[in-house]
Structure 1
Amino acid sequence: MGLSEGFWHHEYWLPPGATWEDMKESANIHYPQPQNLLLCIPGALLLIIVRSIFERTLALPLGRRLGVSDKLRPKVQPNVMLEGFYVLLGRTPKEGDLVSLAKQSDLPVEKVKIWFRHRRAQDRPRVMKKFCEASWRFAFYFTSFFSGLGLLYDKPWFWDHTVCWLRFPQQPLPSALDWFYLLELSFYCSLVATLPFDVKRKLAKMLHYMKWKRACEAVFIGFAVVFIISRLVIFPLITYYYFVTKFQLFLISCLINTFLMILQLLHIFWSYLIIQMLFSVILHGAKRKDARSDTEESDRSEAEDLAKNEV
């Protein structure tokens, strides 16, 4: 038995008694094939290219038209010594390092502190970049949601979740749905590939960047309700109850269920944070700072520094 055959052996991937022979395609019946998963790699690369084009040609002009603008940040004076420390040793030097750097560069300690604060601000993603990223995710999620709705609304398992696992694993899949699921997988693979470069903002942040406060709060409340119902009720009901209790466990199902249980714990944790934020929005409104913000230093500090530089 070759390495590929051993990896795809039916005892690992299918319930007891089922083999890959049971899932052979015919003229009228299409089954998902495991090798099709490899198509998500070129799919992810294609989506990254599409995203780059979308952000440059659509999201950027749209943001400008809607009034999204980057805040003016203080300029950092070139300094080879401080820049070397910043790149090699750390973005936030300790007090002893600040004193040493001040002596070596012949600058007051306060000036060195301000230089590092401005340098950190320079590296923070600008508002327009955040808006473009959020726009791409919104466009994809919006399109995929309604596409999925159009593909699934007439399927029995869309309305009755007990049918999801009926005759598993011999479940024919229409070609359109097969490509739809492959597109979804490719999208999340593309997000993994761009993870080091993304700002990771939510969809509602688009409204925040446009300063549509009421609309932002309304979208967040809607998101919270949908998230809690779908992740704490529907997801565990379909996944655990019907899959775990109706079928004998096999190797891959044990691994998948382990990951799904970890994911469910994360859902509970995220729901707790969302509920906290929800009460903050409802009870405190603008008086409570947005816990989702990724600001390192306050805008007030930047504004003060900018004013000093101009003076």
Structure 2
Amino acid sequence: MMQTVSQWLWWDRLWLPANVSWSDLEDNEGRVYAKASQLYAALPCALCLLLVRYLFERYLATPLANVWGVRDRLRLIAESHPILEKYFCSQARFPSQADVKSLCKKTSWPERRIQLWFRKRRNQERPGLRKRFCEASWRCVFYLFAFVCGVLALYDKPWFYNLKEVWAGFPKQSMLPSQYWYYLLEMGFYLSLLFSLTFDVKRKDFKEQVIHHIATLTLLSFSWISNYIRIGTLVMAVHDSADILLEGAKVFNYAKWHQTANAIFVVFTLLFIVTRLVIFPFWLIHCTWVYPLDEFSPFFGYYFFNVMLLVLQILHLYWAALISRMVYKLIFSKLEGDDRSDEEEDDSDSPKERNHKLNHINGSGARGRTNREKGK
């Protein structure tokens, strides 16, 4: 049965044009083709990137956060209460009004106190500003490195300047070493993002992020196996270009360099629109929908690849709406933080608690000034 399933899964007519078989994509005559078995290398690459990320955040991003004065917000700890803790861990982090009233009867607490307890408890599990700073720094550095690698792998290739060259001789196109390493780097990175989703900063578009990472890995895997490598490298380079500025804007925003962050965000918005809403759909997707028909008749793999690209484009439209809302806030109000982040809630219910926070902040500032004076 497994053999039958494998034969259907790797049926030539599904993934390759007519009159082309998998045997035609075996190394010969000096040509080297991508192989499905090479995709396994993405797993150790992802693990290596997770290690590099840990070292980067600990020994580079954290000291940089100290230099720029990036500090976590002081949080009030929720008092220990077994009934509320059990409800929080096993049922819901956001209790309904009916559940709040039920908890009032069980704990003999007023509604306001219960709601405040849940706000404090939720804040305890939210990542601090330093963690967000470190994550954004890592992604910014990686996207910059990946984009430079992509440009170096593409700048001297004819299909970088003429998209019709993407399909010249397809699928019998020899794989280049630069393409291999570029693919391996990108696949390892997105696989590492999937591994780290559970402990990374959770954002409002968490589900969309999961869909994006899975769609990206599916596209990269399929394009690798079916030798869609040329168009795959172009898609990766286009996506990385705008992400550099997005993460850079976050880094400066967390460091309170708001004017710099806003300027970078405006440039990012323009670049996002050009790359994701113009170049990607009207150049790259047009290249994958129209130009291949001059070389071969449509087949399942042709439709599969283009549908996956359309899934990415739908996500681009969703994120474009989020970005537009952030630009609106930037122009007409004060933009703080990442609009996709799970922001902290106000857990100060009384003047005493608010004064406690203010005294802590003022005390930290006074101690800092005293230490600087001693240093002089």
Match of 1:292 in 2: 339
- Given candidates 257, 262, 273, the residue that maps to 2:306 is 257
The answer to which of 102-111 and 40-49 deviates more is 102-111
Output aligned runs, 1:159-174, within 5 Å.
Answer: 159-174=161-176
Match of 1:66 in 2: 68
Q: Output the aligned Cα RMSD.
A: 2.7
Identity among equivalent pairs (%): 37
Give the TM-score normalised by structure 1: 0.88
- Given candidates 317, 320, 327, the residue that maps to 1:278 is 327
Output the CA distance in 2 between the equivalents of 1:48 and 1:192. Answer: 11
* Contact 2:123-2:345 at 8 Å conserved across structures: no
After superposition, the Cα gap between the structure-2 partners of 1:249 and 1:93, relative to the gap in structure 1 and judged at 3 Å, is same
Q: CA deviation at 1:237?
A: 3.1
The answer to which of 26-35 and 139-148 deviates more is 26-35
- What per-residue deviation string (whole Å, max 9, x for no partner) do you get for residues 61-94 of structure 1? 2212221110111122111111111111211223
After superposition, the Cα gap between the structure-2 partners of 1:129 and 1:290, relative to the gap in structure 1 and judged at 3 Å, is closer
For residue 164 of structure 1, give the secondary structure of its aligned residue in structure 2.
helix
User: Paired residues, what number?
Assistant: 309
Q: CA deviation at 1:181?
A: 1.1
- What per-residue deviation string (whole Å, max 9, x for no partner) do you get for residues 270-292 of structure 1? 223323433442x3252x66671
Output the CA distance in 1 between the equivalents of 2:311 and 2:160. Answer: 25
Match of 1:269 in 2: 318
- Given candidates 114, 130, 133, the residue that maps to 2:132 is 130
> Quick one: higher RCO (CA 8 Å, sep 6+), 1 or 2?
1
* Contact 2:119-2:346 at 8 Å conserved across structures: no
Give the TM-score normalised by structure 2: 0.74
Q: CA deviation at 1:226?
A: 1.4
Q: CA deviation at 1:42?
A: 2.4
Output the CA distance in 1 between the equivalents of 2:352 and 2:166. Answer: 59
Output the CA distance in 2 between the equivalents of 1:132 and 1:63. Answer: 8
Match of 1:187 in 2: 189
Match of 2:25 in 1: 23
- Given candidates 90, 93, 102, the residue that maps to 2:92 is 90
- What per-residue deviation string (whole Å, max 9, x for no partner) do you get for residues 29-65 of structure 1? 3222222222222222222222222222222222122
Output the CA distance in 2 between the equivalents of 1:200 and 1:98. Answer: 25
Output the CA distance in 2 between the equivalents of 1:82 and 1:279. Answer: 39
- What per-residue deviation string (whole Å, max 9, x for no partner) do you get for residues 190-231 of structure 1? 112222222167512111110111111111111111111111
The answer to which of 20-29 and 113-122 deviates more is 20-29
* Contact 1:73-1:302 at 8 Å conserved across structures: no
Gaps of 5+ in 1: none
- AA aligned to 1:220 is F
For residue 134 of structure 1, give the secondary structure of its aligned residue in structure 2.
helix
